[in-house]
Homo-oligomer: A and B are copies of this chain.
Amino acid sequence: MRFVVIGGDAAGMSAASRAKRNKPDLEVVVLEQSEDVSYSACGMPYNIADPDRDMDDLVVRHAPAFREKQGIDLRTGHRVDAIDPGKRVVSGVDSRGELFHVSYDKLMIATGASALPPDLPGMVLSGVFVLKNLEDGRKIKNFIKSTPVRKTVIIGMGYIALEMCESLRARDIDVVMVKPGPKLLPWMNREMASVVRSEIEDQHVRLHSGTEIHGIERKGESLIVHCNGLDLVGQMVLVATGVRPNSNIAERAGLVVGPSSEISVARDLKTSDENIYSAGDCADALHVVTGKKTWIPLALRANRGGWAVADNVTGKSVTLEGVAGTAVFQVFDLQVARTGLCMKESEDSGFDPVEMVIKSRSRAHAHPGSSTMYVQMVGDRLSGRILGAQMVGKEGVAHRINAVAVALHQCMTVEAFSQCDLAYAPPFGPVWDPMLTCANQLLKKM
């Protein structure tokens, strides 16, 4: 039996490796269009921050190891252009320009997502970058090395944009950020988002939200980002305005896709075709709070999805629970985390949500080194359930959010959560963990 995987990043290589482990005599072929497989994409901003580190440090396992140690037929430089589900054949072009055809018994589409750059004049100019794959990372790092970049204009203000903002500031590059939308982090409670904004502005970064962008133009050594009412000038422009699923070949093959063109999969990661699975940033998932389909491309789900596909392909029946959309990022001294639904998402999903935000100390009364942290929690008036939470603070945020994530998986009520026996010691928080204080306060409003 031959198991063919399209895409050699997190989901694809997880699936290929596990399938081979599960069933050593299975023929596993991975078709990857680039030369890079199995790298820590999320590590790129941190790598760019350090001029002494090589971008290839982020490679978790190199292609030869997959081939020689694991017996995976890994073909890099192989771009798949079409799937024929009837004949069970994929076809494409390799890096030498030669056509190839590979037949499969089971197929996995793990094509991930691509940067979704806005349709602006000047996007193709030298010095304008996106950051999605390792090659993008190398280009940015080489550019900074070879060109005197004193200032960078970042278009977008999402996770990647903010992580890159910090990364560039660490290299003493001035940063200005711009986006058309009015809010810095639109999903975030307004008070908490303003804490994040202040932290960024304290690093001498100007944030122009609510600013329409007309195009990018080169003028001598500089690039000018023309906006409504202002021109932003830098030697580099980074466009980080979100991603879209790489689902063209899936759509052309007639597979069912969702509203953002994400590939629709069942709980066993099977697409609408009996022999085709999909996982990773190109595939959808159930949301544990709404019970409905969602598309939240994140690394853990990609890896977990890869494993589940491998298990199902090798005869062990596995289904996945949904996602909670748990995410965390660091921006300068702040940790920012979320799980579940924000207020707007809760309303849009038909809940009757109510929100509480509390301000707490990160350490116990009179304990030195304490800082302010914010916890937000959303509850549903009808069911009493927790719908989501957000946190911002200098310490203790990144892992605290997981307690709420577990609660969301269990459809826990705010009341039940408020009774949980959480850890306390003076260096780590107040006696009443800020999450409990928030839940207690939220209960009063419900």
**Which residues of A are at the interface with B, using a C-beta cutoff of 8 A?**
10, 40, 42-43, 46-47, 50, 53, 57-58, 60, 288, 298-301, 303-304, 320-330, 335, 337, 339, 364-368, 396, 398-403, 405-407, 409-410, 412, 416-417, 419-429, 431-433, 435-436
Q: How far is the CB of A386 from chain B (nearest CB, A)?
A: 11
Question: Is the beta-carbon distance between A324 and B40 smaller than 8 angstroms?
Answer: no
Q: In the complex, which residues of chain B have a beta carbon less than 8 angstroms from the beta carbon of A417?
A: 406
Interface centre among A326, A366, A433 (most CB of B within 10 A): A366
Bound state CA distance, A414 and B252, in angstroms? 40
Q: In the complex, which residues of chain B have a beta carbon less than 8 angstroms from the beta carbon of A403?
A: 399, 402-403, 405-406
Bound state CA distance, A330 and B429, in angstroms? 12
Contact of A321 among B53, B324, B328, B416 (CB under 8 A): B416
Q: In the complex, which residues of chain B have a beta carbon less than 8 angstroms from the beta carbon of A365?
A: 40, 43, 58, 60
Q: How far is the CB of A430 from chain B (nearest CB, A)?
A: 9
Question: Is the beta-carbon distance between B46 and A427 smaller than 8 angstroms?
Answer: yes
Contact of A364 among B42, B53, B335, B428 (CB under 8 A): B42
Bound state CA distance, A403 and B410, in angstroms? 12
| Given contact pairs A403-B403, A416-B409, A432-B303, A40 touches B421 in the complex (Cβ within 8 A) | no
Question: Is the beta-carbon distance between A399 and B427 smaller than 8 angstroms?
Answer: no
Q: In the complex, which residues of chain B have a beta carbon less than 8 angstroms from the beta carbon of A398?
A: 396, 399, 423, 425, 427-429
Bound state CA distance, A50 and B401, in angstroms? 32
Question: Is the beta-carbon distance between B412 and A406 smaller than 8 angstroms?
Answer: yes
Q: How far is the CB of A31 from chain B (nearest CB, A)?
A: 23
Number of copies of this protein chain within its complex: 2
Contacts A/B (CB < 8 Å), 22 sampled: A10-B431, A40-B364, A40-B426, A42-B424, A43-B365, A46-B426, A50-B368, A60-B365, A299-B424, A301-B421, A321-B416, A321-B419, A327-B425, A329-B425, A398-B427, A399-B399, A401-B423, A402-B423, A402-B433, A406-B410, A406-B420, A409-B420
Q: In the complex, which residues of chain B have a beta carbon less than 8 angstroms from the beta carbon of A330?
A: 425, 427-428
Bound state CA distance, A323 and B324, in angstroms? 26
Interface centre among A337, A398, A401 (most CB of B within 10 A): A398
| Given contact pairs A416-B409, A423-B402, A428-B398, A366 touches B303 in the complex (Cβ within 8 A) | no
Q: In the complex, which residues of chain B have a beta carbon less than 8 angstroms from the beta carbon of A423?
A: 326-328, 337, 339, 398-399, 401-402, 405
Bound state CA distance, A432 and B298, in angstroms? 12
Bound state CA distance, A303 and B437, in angstroms? 12
